[in-house]
Structures are given as structure tokens and as C-alpha cells.
Chain A
Amino acid sequence: MSKFIQLHLLTSYAPSNLNRDDLGRPKTARMGGSERLRVSSQSLKRNWRVSDLFEQSLGENIGTRTKRLGTQVFNQLTELGTAEKQAKAWAIEIAGVFGKGKKDSLDIEQLAHISPEEMQAVTSLATTLATENRGPDKEELALLRRNASAVDIALFGRMLASSPEFNCEAACQVAHAISVHGVAVEEDYFTAVDDLNNADSDLGAAHIGEAAFAAALFYSYVCIDKELLVNNLGGDLELANKAIAALVEAAVKVSPKGKQNSFASRAYASFVLAEKGDQQPRSLSVAFLKPISGENQAEDAVQVLQRQADNFDKVYGACADGRYSVNATTGEGSFEQLKTFIAD
């Protein structure tokens, strides 16, 4: 098992405002002397963690999205001979583990994603309750979401100033995503007319505003300490591999949601380079210190990124033991193989 897994991603976004500062403008940073577009590490992680995709890919098979888990449990319990009143109370308790319960209802308020493993655990808990004719205890309920909860905390960490004994060191490091080229943030001056204003006396717009935006090809970098991840998960290597696969899937496919309705800015990574090894991890951002300025932005970016990895190797000795890359601009490599390479 390699200790570190490093991911280098290039993702291109059309004009958008993915992650905003206090003025509502896209976040920026200076690199190599020029202004770059930036998406903060926190923004990336939040969007990965709350995505359905992240939760779904933790399960082996496709799970169920439902608000009606309570009803299913209730039916199961009554079929097994539990009295209706008790069945209702227990079903609400079980469903409550997956979301906030609706008032006077078996349903929960939001659609929850329930993995096949979780569904199986729910069914077997309901059977136990019916045969033993008792309600679920706290621990049994907590066990239902054990994996999802453990993976979330093992990867992204937890800091509780009030009870440090529950702290957990995050096993994954996520850099701020930075554009590979210089950007000038643009302003969209917009007006909205009042449809009921028949222009008798006032010809002005009902609203005027400004929205800042920019387009960018981002370089992002993720480093997973697999040894720490496995430790955080109590030595469960299989679950650690699932967690890594879920993280990779989210990093490649989930976009930050800022101003999504105005810009429909959803993108998959165009290029991913994965590295495995025990050597000191390092990002490859220096490849873009000199901003990419040509017309073949994506191709050039891939080329300098790969050259940087080679050059680091030449000067410092091999910086990784194994590499695999997928390139969606030329259609080389496959995402499935990338996941296999990483989880191996």
C-alpha cells in the first residue's frame, strides 16, 4: 500500500462565479505575478461532502433516494406483528437517523440517499425489534449510518474545541484551486424591466445591478494520506478504498455551486494525473507560475503539467512510485481504471 495518493486535476469553467468574496466577486489570488481566479479549499470540500454523488459512491451498488423509509419500516414491523402504535414510533426513530422527520408523519423532509448496505441494516434492525418486541436503542440507530459518518470525518477531520477527545485529523489535504492563466474579472451590468410599467411617466429600469464573473481553467490538487485514513477508519482497508473512490469521483465531477442558476457552471475535470508513493508530497502548481497564454489552453496546460512532474523527478529523484492519467481532451485513459489504480 502506498502512503500518499496525490491527484492533480485540470478543470475548465466557462464564465461563472463559483466562489465569492465579501463583495460578491469571484475569489482571486496572485501567482507568478499575475491575478488568478481561485476557488477556496473550503468551498471545494463543502461541495464534495454535501453532494449526492459522494454519498452514493460510498455504496457498492446504486442506493435508494427516498423520503419514505419510515413507511417501509412501519409496513415491515406491522407485517411481523408489531402493534401499530409502537411500529409507528419505532419507524419514525429509524427514519429520523436519515433526515429530519415531518410532523405527524412517517416521512422525512428531504430526500435521503440510502445505500444498499444501510437498507439491509435497517431491515435487519426492524426484524430484531419485531421479534424482541422493543424499541431501538441509541447505539443501534447510530450503527445504521456508521460508514457514512466515519468516512466523512476520517477524510475531512473534526475539530471540537469543547471535547478534544473526539477530534480527528483529516486524512485528505485539498489545495485552493487556482487558474493556470491570468484573469481579469469582468462585470456584467444588467437591468430588469418592470413588465407592468407602461412607460407613461417613468421609462427607467426597475432594477439595475452588477455581477462579476470570469472563466478559468483551474489546477487543483488533492493529497490523501492513506495510512492515516485507514487508521482513522479503525484499520478498515476496504472502507478506506471506498472512501478514496468516492472522494476521487467527487473531485472529478462535482463543481462548486456559486451562482449556479445564473451560469450553469458544471464541469468535469478534463485531465487527472494520479500519483502514488511514500515520498514527500508536492503540488505541481509551479508548472503554471508562468501563466498559460496560448490559444491551446487545455493542451498546453496538460503538457506543462506533465513536463513539471518529469522535471521534478529528474532533479530530485522519483517523486512517486506509480502514475496514471486520464485525458478527456484527447480521450486517453478511463475513469474506471483511474479509480482502480488509486484504490489498489
Chain B
Amino acid sequence: MEYLVFRLYGPLASWGEAAVGGDRPSGLTPTRSAVLGMIAAGLGIKRENTERLNALRLSIGVAIKSYSTGSLVRDYHTAQVPSQDKKRRFYTRKDELSIAKEKLNTVLSSRDYRSDGYWVVAIWQQPDKAFSLAEIKKGLVKPAFTPYLGRKACPLAAPLFPQFIESDLKSALDCEFPPILQTDEQDKRWLGIGSYVTYLWQGQADALGCYEGVQSRNVWDEPISRMPWQFGMRQEHQLTMVEE
């Protein structure tokens, strides 16, 4: 099968999970919705364009190889907002914050990030072919909107370097990328990449090959609708192994 493979690295990344109130946790690996969102940004699909987002969702399958999930950074985040005042209109953020201190309220949240995580993503065409892999590749090389790693404050810190690979899923995910530093050894040293890698994929449990220890679970990251904010369930398979 033909795969489009690209890699994700940034000093900070955040992969949204079910978040209630002020707790904004991050998953260890990119979610399917995060990958779809980044591709949509490349293609220039706006958030409110439900139809095209849906078509994109049905067009591609996603698999991830996680070299390093990085370490957890928990950010204590405060934001000041003025009490509602129907008599006064605020034109800028500066206006909002220039009112009397006792009328400013502080909203707290705890935001999680993964620092120095390193992942490779492989996508393939589904029977529904609204978007081709070639089109998607173009969008990743010269994106229409700024791509980011889950949160806007998490820029990519290396080119995605999307490449076409004609092979089985595992070889596609195993394909080589130019090292981020000068050599692969340096990458391992400075990104803290160990010998364990984890593969995550959708579709058949044996799509990666015949291995023992494949775990399957249900995850809720199939983006159904942004209005209301709704995710569907899908099955994801996972395998961790030592890479020689």
C-alpha cells in the first residue's frame, strides 16, 4: 500500500484528551483528531467547514510510531477577565485589563504538555477519496494555515518532511528521516530516545504484522463535529517493542 509518512517534533506538544473545566491534560501520542487537524490546516480547511472536515476524516487512515513521548510539563495558567459590564465596551485586551483591579477575575487552568516528544505519522487513503495523499503532501510542505503540535503555542521545530513510501504499514512507519541534530546518535542522546518504540494504528489488529502483545482499546478521538464539540469512538491497536 502507499503511505504518506511525516514526523512530528517540537520542544512542547499537547495532545488533547477529554478535558473537564480547568484540567487540560495531554495524551502521550498524537490523537487521530490532532493529525487530521494538522492536515486540514495544511489544506486550508477552516474550522467551521464541517463538510470538508468530514470528507477529510473519511479519506484517510492514521498510524503513529512513537519514539519518545517526552516528559510532562504542567503549566499553571492564569487569565484575567473583567466582570461583565453591559455599560462598557472593551475594544482591546488592554482596555479589558485597565479597569479597577477588584473587577478583574482570574480564571485558573492547569495545562499539560509533552516536552521533547518525537513521533512519526503514516497516513493512507481510505475507500472514500475526497482528498488524495498528493494533495495532502503539498499542504504539509506549503501549508495554508500555520500547523502546530496540538496547541498554537507549540510550533513544529523541524520540517515535517512528508515522503511517499510504497510498503507494508510497519516498514512505512520505520522509514528513516534525516536526523534532527547531526547524527542519529545525537538525536538519541539529546531527545532521550530509548530502545522501546510504540506503534499505534487503526484498522485490523494484525495490520502491523503477526506480533504477540498487541493491545486493542477504544479511544474517543474521531472528530465528529466542532459544533457541538463531539468525538466518536474508534478502535486503536497498540504494540510496544524493542527496536534493534
Contact surface of A with B, Cβ cutoff 8 Å: 3-4, 21-22, 27, 29-33, 38, 40-42, 46, 49-50, 54-55, 96-97, 99-100, 110, 142, 145, 148-149, 152, 156, 164, 169-170, 173-176, 178, 221, 223, 225, 228, 278-286, 289-290, 311-312, 315-316, 319
Instruction: Say which residue of A30, A96, A225, A316 sits within 8 Å of B116 (CB atoms).
Output: A30
Say whether B234 faces chain A, with CB atoms less than 8 Å apart. Answer: no
Instruction: Say which residue of A27, A32, A49, A282 sits within 8 Å of B93 (CB atoms).
Output: A49
**A290 and B146 within 8 A (CB):** no
Instruction: Say which residue of B47, B77, B152 sits within 8 Å of A170 (CB atoms).
Output: B152
**B92 and A173 within 8 A (CB):** no
Stretch at the interface among B29-37, B135-143, B196-204, B207-215: B135-143
CA gap between A280 and B140 in the complex, in Å? 7
CA gap between A344 and B113 in the complex, in Å? 36
Contact with A along B132-164 (1 / 0, CB 8 A): 000000001111011110001111111111000
**B155 and A30 within 8 A (CB):** no
Q: Which residue of A lies closest to B47 (CB)?
A: A169
Output the residue of A27, A32, A280, A315 with the most chain B CB within 10 A.
A280
**B191 and A173 within 8 A (CB):** no
Q: Which residue of B lies closest to A219 (CB)?
A: B11
**B178 and A29 within 8 A (CB):** no
B70-112 interface (Cβ within 8 A of A) = 71, 73, 75-77, 79, 88-89, 91-95, 97-100
**B73 and A173 within 8 A (CB):** no
Instruction: Say which residue of A33, A285, A311 sits within 8 Å of B192 (CB atoms).
Output: A33
**A29 and B146 within 8 A (CB):** no
Given A173-B155, A281-B155, A225-B75 contact (CB < 8 Å):
no
Say whether B233 faces chain A, with CB atoms less than 8 Å apart. Answer: no
**B155 and A283 within 8 A (CB):** yes
| Chain B residues positioned under 8 Å from A22 (CB to CB) | 76
Given A170-B152, A176-B12, A285-B157, A316-B178 contact (CB < 8 Å):
yes
CA gap between A97 and B87 in the complex, in Å? 11
Given A50-B94, A164-B227, A282-B156, A173-B190 contact (CB < 8 Å):
no
CA gap between A145 and B90 in the complex, in Å? 10
Q: Which residue of B lies closest to A314 (CB)?
A: B178
Given A46-B93, A49-B92, A149-B91, A286-B148 contact (CB < 8 Å):
no
Min CB distance, B183 to chain A, in Å?
12
**A42 and B153 within 8 A (CB):** yes
Q: Which residue of B lies closest to A101 (CB)?
A: B88
Min CB distance, B191 to chain A, in Å?
7
Min CB distance, A204 to chain B, in Å?
33
| Chain B residues positioned under 8 Å from A156 (CB to CB) | 93
Say whether B69 faces chain A, with CB atoms less than 8 Å apart. Answer: no
Chain B facing A: main interface SS = loop
**B75 and A40 within 8 A (CB):** yes
8 further A-B pairs in the complex, CB-CB below 8 A; given A175-B153, A281-B147:
A21-B75, A21-B76, A42-B153, A97-B89, A169-B47, A290-B181, A290-B190, A319-B159
Instruction: Say which residue of B9, B92, B153 sits within 8 Å of A149 (CB atoms).
Output: B92
Say whether B10 faces chain A, with CB atoms less than 8 Å apart. Answer: yes
| Chain A residues positioned under 8 Å from B145 (CB to CB) | 169, 225, 228
Q: Which residue of A lies closest to B80 (CB)?
A: A46
| Chain B residues positioned under 8 Å from A280 (CB to CB) | 140-143, 147, 156, 159-160
| Chain A residues positioned under 8 Å from B55 (CB to CB) | none
Min CB distance, A240 to chain B, in Å?
16
Min CB distance, B117 to chain A, in Å?
11
Q: Which residue of B lies closest to A146 (CB)?
A: B91
CA gap between A148 and B97 in the complex, in Å? 15
CA gap between A290 and B187 in the complex, in Å? 10
**B158 and A282 within 8 A (CB):** yes
Min CB distance, A74 to chain B, in Å?
20
Min CB distance, B139 to chain A, in Å?
9
Instruction: Say which residue of B12, B153, B161 sits within 8 Å of A173 (CB atoms).
Output: B153
Q: Which residue of B lies closest to A316 (CB)?
A: B159
Q: Which residue of B lies closest to A227 (CB)?
A: B144
**B11 and A29 within 8 A (CB):** yes
**A289 and B12 within 8 A (CB):** no
CA gap between A17 and B143 in the complex, in Å? 37
**A152 and B92 within 8 A (CB):** yes
**A33 and B190 within 8 A (CB):** yes
CA gap between A282 and B154 in the complex, in Å? 10
Say whether B180 faces chain A, with CB atoms less than 8 Å apart. Answer: yes
Say whether B66 faces chain A, with CB atoms less than 8 Å apart. Answer: no
Question: What are the 9 closest A-B residue pairs judged by CB atoms, nearest first?
Answer: A41-B153, A149-B91, A145-B91, A152-B92, A22-B76, A289-B190, A49-B93, A21-B76, A283-B157
Instruction: Say which residue of B99, B115, B191 sits within 8 Å of A100 (CB atoms).
Output: B99
**A278 and B142 within 8 A (CB):** yes
**A174 and B159 within 8 A (CB):** no
